[in-house]
Amino acid sequence: MRLKILLNAAGGSAGDAGLPDRIASAFAQHGVAAEVASLPGHALQEAAREALEAGYDGVVAGGGDGTINAVAGVLAGSGRPFGVLPLGTLNHFARDLGLPRGLEAAAAVIAAGATRPVDVAMVNGRIFVNNSSVGLYADMVADRDRRRRQRGWRKGPAMLIAGWRAFRRFARRRLVVRAEGQQQVLRSPLVFVGNNLYETSLPRPGTRGALDRGELCLCVAKHQSRLGLLRMGLRAMLGRLRDERDLVYSSVTAVEIDSRLPVLRVSFDGEVTTMVPPLRYRSLPGELLVFAPKAVQAG
């Protein structure tokens, strides 16, 4: 097997100067030729396209969910296997795939060569593998990234300050949400769209039991006060989000979010951009072929 490994040079542990050699060695132990490249985040997608054209047997992304998103967006629909080395802080996609956290163990899974198709989701032409949102969280990510650029802050402290500022402002947007033949007009602080359903109760809140059901997880917060939003956050941490009466939670295959605003700030997999509404979300079932453990069966 011949693999191309793409690392985000600015992304946490992936920025470790000795990491490429460790990765190449981990794959070599399994007889896999791994060519490792450490690149700036903006160069990852072009490098993934070049790897496809070069005929590698698979392309692997090493880093956090933003890095995974960038490379997966290129591999989706190609039929070429995509691998994940969970080198980020949270590693949501790797966790829901059932991948081990350690570098050597994750490399062994990829080297074994077992694959399965999973879904991705799309909003206005942009692929995401975990989730996307409009409102509070997107504002927090934008504020976090601005502080990191301007002041050199680490991600954790920058996100804490951004969260406090977003909570104080408590911005609500007038949105039109259309899904499954129904329409809601509401003022909401947060709309969340997940690639497949997220668990909202114990023992594994915030995780997905499957990545191949061809569905989107639509959550619309209808809170009109900071206190209500704080209550929702506490229930989420306690795995009791289903008890929240001001949260609309449903499974859909597509959803459209419209607004009178000329642009909306949109987050996806920890990154943020602006898009012209309406935002059209849809599931792309089985579009991404991934290296994954044989023992983990989707569904």
Three-state DSSP string of the chain: CEEEEEEECCCHHHHCCCHHHHHHHHHHCCCCEEEEEEECHHHHHHHHHHHHHHCCCEEEEEECHHHHHHHHHHHCCCCCCEEEEECCCCCHHHHHHCCCCCHHHHHHHHHHCCEEEEEEEEECCEEECCEEEEEHHHHHHHHHHHHHHHHCCCHHHHHHHHHHHHHHHCCCEEEEEEECCEEEEEEECEEEEEECCCCCECCCCCCCCCCCCCCEEEEEECCCCHHHHHHHHHHHHCCEHHHCCCEEEEEECEEEEECCCCCEEEEECCEEEEECCCEEEEEEEEEEEEECCCCCCCC
- Looking at residue 43, its pLDDT comes to 96
Q: What is the mean pLDDT of residues 7-25?
A: 80
Band (pLDDT 50/70/90 cuts) for residue 134 is: very high
Q: What is the mean pLDDT of residues 22-31?
A: 96
Q: Assign domain 2-113 to a CATH class.
A: alpha beta
- Looking at residue 115, its pLDDT comes to 96
Band (pLDDT 50/70/90 cuts) for residue 13 is: low
- Pick the residue with more confidence: 63 or 200? 63
Q: What is the mean pLDDT of residues 158-184?
A: 87
Q: What is the mean pLDDT of residues 53-73?
A: 95
- Write out pLDDT tens, residues 175-187: 999 999 999 999 9
- Pick the residue with more confidence: 85 or 159? 85
Band (pLDDT 50/70/90 cuts) for residue 143 is: confident
- Looking at residue 295, its pLDDT comes to 46
Band (pLDDT 50/70/90 cuts) for residue 296 is: very low
Band (pLDDT 50/70/90 cuts) for residue 62 is: very high
- Looking at residue 298, its pLDDT comes to 41
Domain ranges of the chain: 2-113, 128-283
- Looking at residue 225, its pLDDT comes to 81
Backbone angles phi, psi at 285, to 5 degrees: -65, 135
Average pLDDT, the chain: 90
Q: Is the pLDDT of residue 240 over 80?
A: no
- Looking at residue 297, its pLDDT comes to 44
- Looking at residue 104, its pLDDT comes to 95
- Pick the residue with more confidence: 279 or 236? 279
CATH number for region 128-283: 2.60.200.40
- Looking at residue 229, its pLDDT comes to 78
Q: Is the pLDDT of residue 237 over 80?
A: no
- Looking at residue 144, its pLDDT comes to 86
- Looking at residue 153, its pLDDT comes to 82
Q: Are 247 and 241 in contact (CB under 8 A)?
A: yes
- Looking at residue 294, its pLDDT comes to 65
Band (pLDDT 50/70/90 cuts) for residue 277 is: very high
- Pick the residue with more confidence: 105 or 11? 105
- Looking at residue 227, its pLDDT comes to 81
